């Protein structure tokens, strides 16, 4: 790095740096301590063969898959922030200095590829979380390091250790870094590989029933789905709707498998929980996840409009008053608390829906072959259900009807819960992890390479601020979620995100 670049980098470090108060330091220390303890007992559970994969196959395989899945999750989450935030920036500013970033963005920003990527990565996140759960969640009555039963129950039985590890290392830390270091973050072949995998998943059509939901909601809201590509030909239309029908069939089968296993008590749900309660818990948690997924879209949709246009209902006013009070620090606070809540729900849903059926024992679901049962035991069917019904559908609904989400009493309740979780500081260790990763990877703020928006405009490279579309495309839904404005918030909330 040249002397000028070094000076510029330091100036941006100083601009982003926040004063660490004694309270913040305490939160960092406690949170990092909880994270270290969580990692230790998870690894102990794996090597004691107290988790599904370590017991069925090999502890070493479980360790490799666990950390490999966490590592991939960091790229999936960070790449979203980069690809959603970089479209306005002129390619030419980083084409030569970051050739792999240019390869990523030139592919992702072609036609509707960004929408395709966002749908594929949504499924990838869910699938990776299910894999992490299979590797690290302990079996019933696990005995770890001679710890008291109450400690094991709190950290492993409830999934807190898995939640803290996944959130802080796999999600929040990478989101912090990628929100400010977008250009550096995806300047590698791993990011390009992840982009191709996400787009391949979308191409298979597994998630295509979401497009049917998208079109229905667009028709109901009167906001047509806009595309950056030419209208499909007859053959392309047939191929598209064929995949939609296939996706609906897969979703229907996945639901049938899940409810059959739930009513038969053949899932990894905690012992002693009645089957009826498991079914109710599944529906409730799916709804909670859906609300939280939709809320982030609705909140960003109304963040920039006048308060008078955010709805007149009692709960819409209460929600907006709480969300946007003061300097707006509760919006990023919600995003942090929301992440913790969603991952918590995902791990419980994984327990509720993961099949606990040993192939060859004569109790395969619907009497399918042993090889098919082994495939279903991976949890792929649950990832399909959760992605479509508890994630994408609710995001689309919130994009079409944001004011209806604001007027929902459940929105206000979940906002309070998310803010309370963030206030505990339990996830503050993510910023410490992020700082360490940033130093190791040598990540620099985007302004070091392309300047500020004002500098880009002065150098005849103004940002393309034209909206990507006013319809209900996935890119349109995610506008702001991965942007600087969205993730600068933790600094406004008093959290040091120098990382």
d(CA 499, CA 494): 14
pLDDT average, residue stretch 142-147? 76
pLDDT top residue among 1 and 386: 386
Q: Which of 11-25, 194-208, 415-429 has the lowest mean pLDDT?
A: 11-25
Does residue 499 register a pLDDT over 50?
A: no
pTM: 0.80
**Chain segment 445-465, per-residue pLDDT in tens:** 888 888 877 788 888 777 776
Q: Which of 78-87, 357-366, 487-496 has the lowest mean pLDDT?
A: 487-496
For residue 71, what are the contacts with CB-CB under 8 A and spacing of at least 6? none
In degrees rounded to 5, what are phi and psi of residue 258? Answer: -65, -50
Does residue 302 register a pLDDT over 60?
A: yes
Q: Which residue has the tokens 């030909």?
A: 233
What distance, in Å, lies between the first and last C-alpha atoms of the chain? 19
Does residue 360 register a pLDDT over 90?
A: no
d(CA 150, CA 141): 11
Cβ–Cβ < 8 Å for 429, 31: yes
> What pLDDT sits at residue 393?
86
Cβ–Cβ < 8 Å for 323, 330: yes
> What pLDDT sits at residue 355?
78
Does residue 73 register a pLDDT over 90?
A: yes
Return the structure tokens found at 178: 């990628």
Read off the DSSP letter of residue 95: T
Dihedral of the CA atoms 338, 341, 346, 348 (nearest 10)?
-170
> What pLDDT sits at residue 477?
54
> What pLDDT sits at residue 39?
92
Cβ–Cβ < 8 Å for 339, 481: no
Confidence of residue 495 (pLDDT cuts 50, 70, 90): very low
Other Cβ atoms less than 10 A from the Cβ of 297: the count is 23
Cβ–Cβ < 8 Å for 153, 144: no
Q: Which residue has the tokens 């890119």?
A: 475
CA atoms within 13 A on the CB side of 43: 9
Q: At what angle do helices 173-180 and 59-85 cross, to 10 degrees?
A: 30
Closest CA to 431 of 11, 20, 12, 6: 20
Q: What percent of the chain has pLDDT over 90?
A: 19
pLDDT top residue among 279 and 21: 279
**Chain segment 368-377, per-residue pLDDT in tens:** 888 888 888 7
Cβ–Cβ < 8 Å for 466, 88: no
pLDDT average, residue stretch 223-248? 88
Confidence of residue 14 (pLDDT cuts 50, 70, 90): very low
Confidence of residue 490 (pLDDT cuts 50, 70, 90): very low
In degrees rounded to 5, what are phi and psi of residue 355? Answer: -75, 140
For the chain, give the mean pLDDT: 81
Return the structure tokens found at 179: 């929100």
Does residue 17 register a pLDDT over 70?
A: no
pLDDT top residue among 444 and 11: 444
Closest CA to 108 of 87, 92, 81, 77: 87
pLDDT average, residue stretch 128-153? 79
d(CA 238, CA 84): 30
Return the structure tokens found at 460: 């005849």
Q: Which residue has the tokens 């998943």?
A: 201
Confidence of residue 481 (pLDDT cuts 50, 70, 90): very low
**Chain segment 24-40, per-residue pLDDT in tens:** 788 889 999 999 999 99
Cα dihedral 420, 423, 424, 427 sign: positive
**Chain segment 89-140, per-residue pLDDT in tens:** 888 888 889 999 999 999 998 888 988 898 899 889 888 888 888 888 777 6
Confidence of residue 480 (pLDDT cuts 50, 70, 90): very low
d(CA 445, CA 427): 23
Confidence of residue 65 (pLDDT cuts 50, 70, 90): very high
């Amino acid at each position: 790095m040249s002397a000028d670049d070094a000076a510029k980098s330091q100036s941006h470090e100083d601009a982003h740096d926040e004063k660490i108060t004694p309270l913040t330091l305490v939160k960092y220390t406690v949170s990092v301590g909880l994270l270290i303890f969580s990692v230790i007992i998870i690894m102990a559970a794996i090597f004691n063969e107290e988790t599904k994969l370590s017991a069925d196959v090999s502890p070493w395989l479980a360790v490799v898959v666990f950390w490999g899945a966490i590592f991939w999750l960091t790229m999936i989450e960070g790449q979203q922030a980069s690809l959603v935030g970089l479209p306005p920036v002129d390619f030419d500013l980083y084409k030569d200095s970051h050739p792999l970033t240019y390869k990523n963005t030139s592919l992702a920003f072609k036609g509707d590829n960004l929408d395709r990527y966002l749908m594929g990565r949504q499924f990838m996140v869910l699938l990776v979380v299910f894999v992490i759960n299979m590797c690290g969640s302990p079996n019933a009555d696990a005995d770890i390091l001679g710890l008291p039963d109450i400690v094991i129950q709190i950290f492993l039985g409830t999934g807190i250790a898995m939640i803290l590890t996944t959130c802080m290392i796999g999600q929040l830390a990478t989101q912090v870094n990628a929100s400010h270091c977008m250009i550096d973050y995806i300047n590698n072949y791993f990011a390009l590989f992840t982009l191709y995998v996400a787009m391949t998943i979308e191409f298979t059509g597994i998630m295509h029933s979401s497009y049917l939901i998208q079109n229905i909601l667009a028709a109901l809201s009167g906001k047509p789905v806009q595309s950056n590509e030419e209208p499909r030909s007859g053959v392309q239309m047939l191929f598209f709707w064929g995949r939609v029908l296939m996706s609906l069939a897969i979703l229907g089968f996945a639901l049938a498998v899940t409810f059959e296993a739930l009513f038969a008590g053949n899932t990894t749900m905690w012992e002693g929980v009645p089957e009826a309660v498991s079914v109710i818990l599944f529906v409730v948690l799916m709804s909670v996840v859906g609300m939280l997924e939709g809320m982030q879209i609705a909140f960003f949709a109304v963040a920039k409009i006048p308060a008078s246009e955010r709805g007149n209902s009692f709960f819409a006013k209460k929600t907006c008053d709480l969300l946007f009070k003061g300097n707006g620090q509760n919006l990023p606070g919600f995003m942090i608390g929301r992440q913790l809540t969603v991952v918590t729900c995902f791990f419980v849903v994984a327990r509720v829906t993961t099949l606990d059926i040993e192939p060859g024992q004569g109790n395969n679901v619907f009497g399918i072959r042993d090889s098919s049962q082994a495939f279903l035991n991976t949890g792929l069917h649950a990832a399909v259900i959760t992605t479509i019904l508890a994630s994408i559908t609710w995001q689309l609904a919130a994009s079409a009807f944001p004011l209806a989400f604001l007027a929902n009493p459940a929105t206000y309740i979940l906002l309070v819960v998310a803010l309370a979780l963030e206030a505990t500081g339990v996830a503050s260790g993510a910023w410490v992890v992020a700082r360490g990763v940033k130093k190791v990877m040598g990540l620099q703020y985007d302004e070091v390479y392309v300047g500020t928006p004002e500098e880009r405009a002065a150098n005849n490279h103004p940002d393309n601020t034209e909206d990507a579309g006013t319809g209900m495309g996935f890119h349109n839904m995610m506008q702001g979620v991965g942007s600087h404005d969205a993730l600068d918030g933790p600094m406004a909330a008093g959290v040091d995100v120098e990382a």
